[in-house]
Amino acid sequence: MLAFLTSCAHWAASGADDLVSWLQTLVYVKLLQPLLFYAGFMDVDEDTFDALYWVIVGVLEIGAMYAVLRPLEALVPAEKWRDRKSVGVDAVYTWITRLGIFNLLFFFALQPVFDRAQSWLRLHGVMSVDIDNLWPGVTTVPLVTFAIYLIVLDFFGYWYHRFSHRFGIWWELHAVHHSQRKMSFWCDNRNHLLDVLGQSCMFAAIALVIGVPPAQFVVLVALTNFVQNVQHANIRWHFGWLGERLIVSPRFHRRHHAIGYGHEGTTYGCNFGVLFPWWDMMFGSASFNREIEPTGIRDQLEGKSYGEGFWAQQGLAFRRIARRLAAQRRASGDTRDDTSAA
């Protein structure tokens, strides 16, 4: 059975890779290479060709998620809206982040650093992580190795997400994501650019440490992205008692975005899982409530603005950070004054 699944997965991955490679060559030869030649930038033609693979994967991802999830939002919406105007800015975020530029940059920029670090460790007798050989005959199967990579990356993704709710300055960046009160499949990509940089750097660093091959890294990123689009979609879906505990559903993740619960209702929030709810169940942050609840941040109900447009949302995050730091400095000064008076 495992051999059959592995064969099917290999066939699917190979077919997808062939399609992307064909489109990559076509677009490069017909469009980009002539432009680079006339602009005098042929010294970066190889890098441009490599980056184009990620761009094409991102465009195909966006097309697939729109074709699948937009009809579902129309047929079985969790909430019915009068209009989708506020969703438009999330589409801008999606086009910026889904073209893979950030992940590509960090994965390949960090590669030489990790190569030197691994050489130094080997020189001093410290072996690097080699997941392929953890269980000969099992972890050497590509499908098993891919699953291990996915689980390891998801574990670190859970903690990255949880910490972004735990620390005040970090939360001010992540609040951009939670300030969308009309959740849709576009909403996953609504993040402050500094938060995107942090996530991309972490994801690429962990992938390099555990030895994810470049080709599998592309698939891991694409799969993770699409599943998160499903989670944020405005669809009335849950996966049943068992399914809800195997993979994060739109209903499970909506609880994370719910006003008063996602980051405000428990000690430090609930339902932080990126792909799997296992970590929430393991570390006591799971909530399997099936009610359809309003989403957003509580102080939006009191009139606080997190910005309607892309640049406003980016800028307001820095203002919130500045105000928070100023309040901390004032509190620290008051404490010192009280100590001196005593």
- Residue 146: pLDDT above 80? yes
Which of residues 289 and 69 earns the better pLDDT score? 69
In a domain, 66, yes or no: yes
pLDDT band at residue 128 under the 50/70/90 scheme: low
Give the CB-side neighbour count of residue 95, counting CA atoms within 13 A: 5
Residues of the domain holding 69: 15-329
The 3-class secondary structure across the chain, one letter per residue, is CHHHHHHHHHHHHHHHHHHHHHHHHHHHHHHHHHHHHHHCCHHHHHHHHHHHHHHHHHHHHHHHHHHHHHHHHHHCCCCCCCCCHHHHHHHHHHHHHCCCHHHHHHHHHHHHHHHHHHHHHHHCCCCCCCHHHCCCCCCCCHHHHHHHHHHHHHHHHHHHHHHHHHCHHHHHHHHHHHCCCCCCCCHHHCCCHHHHHHHHHHHHHHHHHCCCCHHHHHHHHHHHHHHHHHHHCCCCCCCHHHHCCCCCCHHHHHHHHECCCCCCCCCCCCCCCCCCCHHHHHCCCCCCCCCCCCECCHHHCCCCCCCCCHHHHHHHHHHHHHHHHHHHHHHHHHHHHHHHHC
Determine the average pLDDT of the residues in 216-235: 88
Which of residues 331 and 15 earns the better pLDDT score? 331
* 184-214 burial code (b ≥16 CB/10 A, e <16): bbbbbbbbbbebbebbbbbbbbbbbbbbbee
Which of residues 280 and 56 earns the better pLDDT score? 280
Determine the average pLDDT of the residues in 60-67: 90
What does pLDDT average to over the chain? 81
> Could you read off the pLDDT of 147-171 as tens digits, one per residue?
888 999 999 999 999 999 988 889 9
pLDDT > 70 in the chain, percent: 77
The Cα 28–Cα 54 span in angstroms is 13
* Residue 322 neighbours by CB under 8 Å, 6+ apart: none
In a domain, 10, yes or no: no
Position 151 scores a pLDDT of 93
Report, in angstroms and rounded to the nearest whole number, the Rg of the chain calculated over CA atoms. Answer: 22
Determine the average pLDDT of the residues in 135-151: 77
In a domain, 337, yes or no: no
Out of 40-54, 97-111, 201-215, least confident range: 97-111
Q: Which two tokens stand for residue 87?
A: 């969703």
In a domain, 340, yes or no: no
Q: Which two tokens stand for residue 56?
A: 């094409």
pTM over 0.85: no
- Residue 283: pLDDT above 70? yes
Angle at 216 between CA 107 and CA 57, to 5 degrees: 80
**What are residue 258's DSSP bridge partners?**
295
pLDDT band at residue 5 under the 50/70/90 scheme: very low
The residue among 100, 114, 103 whose CA lies nearest residue 199 is 103
Position 2 scores a pLDDT of 44
Determine the average pLDDT of the residues in 28-55: 76
Position 266 scores a pLDDT of 52
Domains in the chain, number: 1
Which of residues 125 and 67 earns the better pLDDT score? 67
If phi over 0 gives left and psi between -120 and 50 gives alpha, with beta otherwise, what is residue 199?
alpha
- Residue 4: pLDDT above 50? no
Position 33 scores a pLDDT of 80
Position 130 scores a pLDDT of 67
In a domain, 266, yes or no: yes
Position 323 scores a pLDDT of 92
> Could you read off the pLDDT of 237-281 as tens digits, one per residue?
888 889 999 999 999 999 999 988 776 655 568 999 999 999 999
pLDDT band at residue 177 under the 50/70/90 scheme: very high
- Residue 105: pLDDT above 60? no
In a domain, 213, yes or no: yes
> Could you read off the pLDDT of 77-101 as tens digits, one per residue?
999 988 888 899 999 899 888 776 5
In a domain, 336, yes or no: no
In a domain, 9, yes or no: no
The Cα 280–Cα 201 span in angstroms is 23
